Amino acid sequence: MKSVWPMLAFVALSATGAIAQDIAAGEKSWNKCRACHQVGETARNGVGPQLNGLFGRHSGAVEGYSYSVANKNSGITWDEAVFGEYIKDPKAKIPGTKMVFAGIKNEQEIKDLIAFLKRFSKDGKPTE
Structure letter (DSSP) for residue 32: T
Taking a C-beta distance cutoff of 8 angstroms, is the pair 102, 90 a contact? no
The reported pTM is 0.82
CA–CA separation, 66 and 47 (whole Å): 9
- Helix and strand numbers (H, E) in the chain are 5, 0
Q: How far is CA 11 from CA 4, 16, 108, 128, in A?
A: 11, 9, 21, 21
CA–CA separation, 64 and 108 (whole Å): 32
List the domains of the chain with CATH numbers. Answer: 4-117 (1.10.760.10)
Instruction: List the chain pLDDT tens, one digit each, 128 residues.
Output: 455 444 444 444 444 444 546 999 999 999 999 999 999 999 999 999 999 999 999 999 999 999 999 999 999 999 999 999 999 999 999 999 999 999 999 999 999 999 999 999 999 999 87
Q: What does the pLDDT read at residue 127? A: 85
Tell me the sheet residues that pair with 58: 77
CA–CA separation, 102 and 89 (whole Å): 6
